[in-house]
Amino acid sequence: MARTRRRARFTGYWLMLPSALWLALFFLVPFYSLIAMSLYDPEGSSLTGYDMTWHFANYVDVVQAYWRPLLRSFWYAALATLGCLLLGYVLAYAIAFKAGRWKNLMLVLVIAPFFTSFLIRTLSWKLILADDGWIVNTLQAVGILGPDGRLLATSFAVVMGLTYNFLPFMVLPLFASLDKIDHRLIEAAGDLYASPARGFFKVTLPLSMPGVVAGTLLTFIPAAGDYINSELLGSPNQRMIGNVIQNLFTNQGDYAAAGALSMTLMIIITIGVVLYIRRAGTEDLV
């Protein structure tokens, strides 16, 4: 790239400057504000103002008060991620290896649900799973659900909603990984008398691991912080940590606790992600 070198030495810096400044000002500084907020004196209020008093006890307080929704968020997110992985792998595999000339069309169809609002899609599930709806009636008729059994306002509905909403985030990175695989490697496994199943587990699956790692992260992280599904499809028994944080901010005005809880979520996720990536042993995620 001899020609790029001829360009002014500082052009790169000038091009980068606006974005870097924006992200510093509206991403890094807010993070600092959030940390400060999480250490506010809890006695303050939005009217009298808060004092930043290094009040680390906030963290202990919120974990003690909200460990249930916190754990539930990670549990639901894990289940939804597993569901997305199973469904997403099948779909991504079909697109990458079986779709032929329909590949592009199927990829467009994967992202197309994004074009209807997240909230409207979730509300649509509320209708599908409704108590007098077709699905509930059928399940009651075949005896899977009791006569008073319902799907709405259960953990199942919330996990299903999360799975549904974040599925494209799983399919796209999986597809990107699977699509790169050299088909000759899979054929070679067959030529060496590996059964299709063995070929899959020894060749295809390991080669698609970067996609699995990226996909699971892209589903798990937003799912753990989501509160739309638990609010619309669940009941107070399915409250997730996002519901609590949102509620602390807007209804109770307890900024110190809300900040501490947000930070707790972020810290746990960061530690989890670092450990996970170390274990899965891949760094090229994007």
Binders of another protein in range 92-121 (CB under 8 A)? 93-95, 97-99, 104, 106, 108-110, 112-121
Residues 6+ apart with CB under 8 A from 75: none
Q: Which of 69, 254, 255, 257 binds another protein (CB under 8 A)?
A: 255
Identity of residue 152? L
Interface with another protein, residue 274, by CB under 8 A: no
Binders of another protein in range 64-83 (CB under 8 A)? none
Residues 6+ apart with CB under 8 A from 67: none
Count of Cβ atoms closer than 10 Å to residue 187 Cβ: 12
Give the shortest CB-192-to-another protein separation in angstroms.
19
Per-residue x/- marks for another protein, 207-246, CB under 8 A? ----------x---xx-xxxxx---x--------xx--xx
d(CA 141, CA 149): 11
Question: How many residues form the binding site for another protein (CB under 8 A)?
Answer: 91
Give the shortest CB-141-to-another protein separation in angstroms.
18
Q: Which of 62, 79, 91, 159 binds another protein (CB under 8 A)?
A: 91
d(CA 244, CA 236): 10
Interface with another protein, residue 189, by CB under 8 A: no
Give the shortest CB-222-to-another protein separation in angstroms.
6
Residue from 223, 220, 209, 224 nearest 283 by CA: 209
Interface with another protein, residue 27, by CB under 8 A: yes
Interface with another protein, residue 153, by CB under 8 A: no
Angle at 255 between CA 254 and CA 257, to 5 degrees: 75
Interface with another protein, residue 254, by CB under 8 A: no
Give the shortest CB-33-to-another protein separation in angstroms.
4
Q: Which of 51, 56, 90, 216 binds another protein (CB under 8 A)?
A: 90
Q: Which is nearer to another protein, 108 or 192 (CB)?
A: 108
Residue from 82, 228, 107, 216 nearest 165 by CA: 228
d(CA 190, CA 109): 32
Binders of another protein in range 123-142 (CB under 8 A)? 123-128, 130, 132-133
Interface with another protein, residue 56, by CB under 8 A: no
Q: How far is CA 89 from CA 160, 171, 270, in A?
A: 17, 7, 25
Interface with another protein, residue 45, by CB under 8 A: no
Q: Which is nearer to another protein, 80 or 143 (CB)?
A: 80
Q: Residue 29, class by beta-carbon neighbours within 10 Å (0-12 exposed, 13-18 middle, 19+ buried)?
A: exposed
Q: Which of 43, 45, 46, 276 binds another protein (CB under 8 A)?
A: 46
Residue 107 is encoded by which pair of tokens?
């990829």
Please answer whether residues 122 and 233 qualify as being in contact, where contact means their C-beta atoms are separated by less than 8 angstroms.
yes
Residues 6+ apart with CB under 8 A from 179: 96
Interface with another protein, residue 280, by CB under 8 A: no
Q: Which of 63, 78, 82, 87 binds another protein (CB under 8 A)?
A: 87
Q: Which is nearer to another protein, 14 or 193 (CB)?
A: 14
